[in-house]
Amino acid sequence: MNMRTGEEGYHYGVMRRAIELIDQGEGNLSLEQLAGQMNMSPAHFQRLFSRWVGVSPKKYQQYLTLGHAKALLQEHFTTLEAAHSVGLSGTGRLHDLFVRWEAMSPGDYARHGQGLVIYWGWFESPFGPALVMGTDKGICGVGFAAETTAEATMEDLLSRWPKAEFIEDPMRLRPWVLNMFNAASDRLEPTPLYLIGAPLQIKVWEALLRIPSGQVTTYSEIAEAIGNPRAVRAVGTAVGRNPISWIIPCHRALRKSGGLGGYHWGLPVKRAMLAYEAARAEA
């Protein structure tokens, strides 16, 4: 299996270790204490963090604390109605990433991928090794292996479209992947997504695409937005089954209490994603 771990994978490993130490210190570690426990100077930790997110943020270790999600909910909660109107008025970007998408028809979805050719490849990402899959129409799957294993991540995505033909071809996917992990706004071509799911899942995933980067929402807010306020549990399940992690930002969905909820690829990845976006938004 062709999976490389380079500088980006190293950066995620450092942040993963920092999250563990912050939790053990119950969120009270100063930057100096945290860096000391990681056997590096505070300046070196700050440099690594800045390289990881691509900017020099105002805060460092605070983004990684367990209480950060609750703070996001208090300070950066967005209703999807507001997100939609901001996007329509053109005064803000709906997403750091420039995307367009189409959904597979319910009839085709019922065939479990029969007749579909899906290309796949492993790539480095800010959140560890990423498995990316796509058809000729766009990216249809993104999974992360840092908290699971490469084998488990591959098996998970393969099982979603059991009758498809899978071909390893990272070079075909590479231009889309470069867009995925690069929030530069000067690209002319949006990254295409191909949503393969049941009708309710598609509705939920489209609602997730309306949450701006650096903002969060709740499962109940998503249920309201899709016109089914009592379907919070079903919404939670659909969020958890999102096959295109990171681009469809299911990591921005939290519990009303400020709890993280779950994350299919491991909660440390979700925390790292929220920290990464908050640091970029506030820099």
Closest C-alpha to 250, from 279, 218, 282, 283: 218
3-state class (DSSP) for residue 234: helix
What is the 3 state secondary structure string of 85-151?
Answer: HHHHHCCCCCCCCCEEEEECCHHHHCCCCCCCEEEEEEECCECECEEEEEECCEEEEEEECCCCCHH
- State the amino acid at position 212 in one-letter form: P
d(Cα 149, Cα 170) in Å, to the nearest integer?
19
8: exposed, middle or buried (Cβ count in 10 Å: 0-12, 13-18, 19+): buried
DSSP state of 190: P
Range 21-40 burial, b when 16+ CB lie within 10 A, else e: bbeeeeeebebeebbebbee
Catalytic residues: 250
Beta pairing partners, 101: 193
CA 243-244-247 angle, to 5 degrees, is 155
**Cα torsion angle, 262, 252, 19, 181, sign:** positive
